[in-house]
Amino acid sequence: MEILSKLPATPGKIIAVHVAFESRAAQRGRRPKQPSYFMKATSSLADSGQVVRPAGCELLAFEGEIALIIGREGKNIPLDQAWDYVTAVTASNDLGIYDYRAQDKGSNTRSKSRDGYTPVGPELIDAREVAPDQLRIRTWVNGELAQEGTTSEEDLIFPLPQFVADLSQHMTLYPGDIILTGTPAGSTVVQPGDVMEIEVDGNGQSSGKLRTEVVEGPGDFDESVGMLPKVDDKQREDAYGSREAAGLSDGLSESLKAKLEATPTAGLSAQLRSRGLNQVVIEGVYPQTPGTKMVGVAKTLRFVPGREDLFKSHGGGYNTQKRAFDALKPGEVLVIEARQEPGSGTLGDVLAIRAKDLGAAGIVTDGGVRDYAAVQEVGLPVFTQGAHPAVLGRKHVPWDMDLPIACGNATVVPGDVIVGDDDGVIVIPRDIVEEVVDAAIKKEHQDEWVAERVAEGNPVGGLFPPTGEWKQQWEEYLKQNPVPDYGSSRAE
My answer on whether 103 and 192 are in the same domain is yes
CATH code for position 218? 3.90.850.10
My answer on whether 142 and 213 are in the same domain is yes
Alpha helices in 221-348 (DSSP H): 233-240, 254-262, 265-274, 308-314, 320-326
CB 104 within 8 A of CB 197: no
Please check if 104 is assigned to a binding site.
Answer: no
Residues 6 or more apart whose Cβ sits within 8 Å of residue 370? 345, 347, 348, 387, 388, 389, 390, 391
Q: What are phi and psi of 286, to 5 degrees?
A: -140, 160
Given a cut of 70, the residues of the chain with pLDDT beneath it are 248-250, 486-492
My answer on whether 293 and 233 are in the same domain is no
Is 245 part of any domain? no
Confidence at residue 249, expressed as pLDDT on a 0 to 100 scale: 64
Dist CA 471 CA 466 (whole Å): 5
Give the pairing type, strands 205-206 and 195-202. antiparallel
My answer on whether 224 and 303 are in the same domain is no
My answer on whether 214 and 310 are in the same domain is no
My answer on whether 481 and 417 are in the same domain is no
Please check if 136 is assigned to a binding site.
Answer: no
My answer on whether 271 and 285 are in the same domain is no
CB 317 within 8 A of CB 342: no
Confidence at residue 159, expressed as pLDDT on a 0 to 100 scale: 97
Is 122 part of any domain? yes
Dist CA 215 CA 95 (whole Å): 13
Confidence at residue 46, expressed as pLDDT on a 0 to 100 scale: 96
Is 179 part of any domain? yes
Please check if 349 is assigned to a binding site.
Answer: yes
Domain boundary among 216, 240, 264: 240
Confidence at residue 491, expressed as pLDDT on a 0 to 100 scale: 37
Is 339 part of any domain? yes
My answer on whether 142 and 188 are in the same domain is yes
Alpha-carbon separation of residue 49 from 180, 215, 241, 320, 366 (angstroms): 19, 10, 25, 57, 59
Confidence at residue 488, expressed as pLDDT on a 0 to 100 scale: 47
Residues 6 or more apart whose Cβ sits within 8 Å of residue 466? 446, 450, 473, 474
Confidence at residue 489, expressed as pLDDT on a 0 to 100 scale: 44
SS3 (DSSP) at 469: helix
Give the pairing type, strands 424-428 and 417-421. antiparallel
- Return the sign of the alpha-carbon dihedral for residues 82, 83, 86, 92: positive
CB 24 within 8 A of CB 182: yes
My answer on whether 230 and 269 are in the same domain is no
* Residue range(s) defining the domain that contains residue 323: 278-423
What's the whole-model pTM score? 0.61
Residues 6 or more apart whose Cβ sits within 8 Å of residue 207? 89, 90, 91, 121, 122, 123, 124, 125, 199, 200, 201
My answer on whether 285 and 203 are in the same domain is no
Domain boundary among 240, 267, 301: 240
Number of domains in the chain: 3
Please check if 250 is assigned to a binding site.
Answer: no
Is 440 part of any domain? yes
Is 480 part of any domain? yes
Confidence at residue 490, expressed as pLDDT on a 0 to 100 scale: 38
Domain boundary among 423, 438, 455: 423
Please check if 53 is assigned to a binding site.
Answer: no
- Return the sign of the alpha-carbon dihedral for residues 290, 282, 270, 381: positive
> How long is the chain?
492
My answer on whether 405 and 461 are in the same domain is no
CB 233 within 8 A of CB 248: yes
Confidence at residue 250, expressed as pLDDT on a 0 to 100 scale: 62
Report pLDDT digits (tens) over 400-454: 999 999 999 999 999 999 999 999 999 999 889 999 999 999 888 888 899 999 9
CATH code for position 361? 3.50.30.40
Is 296 part of any domain? yes
My answer on whether 369 and 230 are in the same domain is no
CB 267 within 8 A of CB 303: no
Dist CA 251 CA 257 (whole Å): 9
